[in-house]
Amino acid sequence: SPQQSNVTSSGAITLAIISLEAFAGMWINAFIVCVLCIGWVRKKTLNSNEKILLLLGCSRFWYLFISWAYSFLSRIYPNYLYVHTILQLTVFFQTFFNYSNLWVSACLCGFYCIKIANFRNSFFIYLKVKIDRMVPWLLLGSGILALAMGIIAYDIADKPHCNNHTSSRQGNFGKASIRMDKHFFPSFFLAGFGYAASFMAVIFSAVLLLFSLWRHKCKMQTNALKDLSMDAHIRAMKSILSFLVMYSINFVCLVLEMVYVTQKRSQMTFLIEVFRYAFPGVHSLILIFSNPKLEKTLLKIL
């Protein structure tokens, strides 16, 4: 029927846009991982910033790949996807890499803030001295929390009522069911908590760094020479503020997703999906141009 053909064409367009965003994002993050790994082999060491970027690039690459594979199979070969353990494992890995992406990104913002901001508070000075030793533990903690979220998502997807073909296409926890039952709201509550926790860390880092920049600018008004600390502040602020804007859009998409999760073919669902797939690639591209080493290598390749 005409209505079915319209739905089919709309689904094909959506899949094409998602595929373009996913493969572009995977290429960008694979580039980050390759450059850092090559530098690691040559120097035999990684600094704290590179460790965070390496883990961030890996988590975003696999998140985009698994999300694209889920979208592709759910539209083209749904019978292969909605098989016991296949759907559950897909939800587990997507949730794990998604929350690794979010919390490692928050760690990166916090690292920039502590390294660059200038405050005389004794606790802040202690953090500045110890931050390089704390980075591996922060990354380990992010991985453990993401693993816990993934296990919870697997458990929700493994419920008997979740093994059906009426799965929604959005979200990590809410993918396996669109019913308004007792598992629906707890799943979105957990998802919202994960987003909100990392979002607050980003906001806090941005506010502290902005306040430090303002104080430093006031002190340097009488100095006509170019100040390296000011440049470092500005570069970090560009990265964190761009991330804050994109993080805000991503958080709004989560809220809208909770409203439109039962409306598979709505235009709002399409926009939400487009924004969610664009986020990991676009922000990684911003990180490349805010890192002199990555930017120089990319320009050489281009």
pLDDT at 273 over 70: yes
Domain boundaries, the chain: 2-160+177-299
Domain 2-160+177-299: CATH architecture, name and number where available: Up-down Bundle (1.20)
Task: Specify the pTM.
Answer: 0.82
Supply the pLDDT for residue 10: 64
d(CA 241, CA 68): 28
Q: Are 93 and 62 contacting, i.e. CB atoms less than 8 angstroms apart?
A: yes
Kindly tell me the burial class for residue 213, based on how many C-beta atoms sit within 10 Å of its own C-beta (0-12, 13-18, 19 or more): buried
Residue, of 207 and 257, whose pLDDT is higher: 207
List pLDDT tens digits, range 232-247: 667 767 777 777 787 7
List pLDDT tens digits, range 19-49: 898 999 999 999 999 999 998 999 888 888 8
Q: Are 1 and 33 contacting, i.e. CB atoms less than 8 angstroms apart?
A: no
List pLDDT tens digits, range 116-167: 877 788 888 888 888 889 999 999 999 999 998 888 888 877 765 444 444 4
- Among residues 23, 196, 220, 232, the alpha carbon closest in space to that of 113 is found at 232
CB atoms within 10 A of CB 246: 19
CA distances to 13, 90, 179, 217 from 222, rounded to whole Å, are 57, 58, 63, 10
Residue, of 112 and 137, whose pLDDT is higher: 137
Q: Are 59 and 101 contacting, i.e. CB atoms less than 8 angstroms apart?
A: yes
As given in the structure block, the two tokens for residue 24 are 């572009």
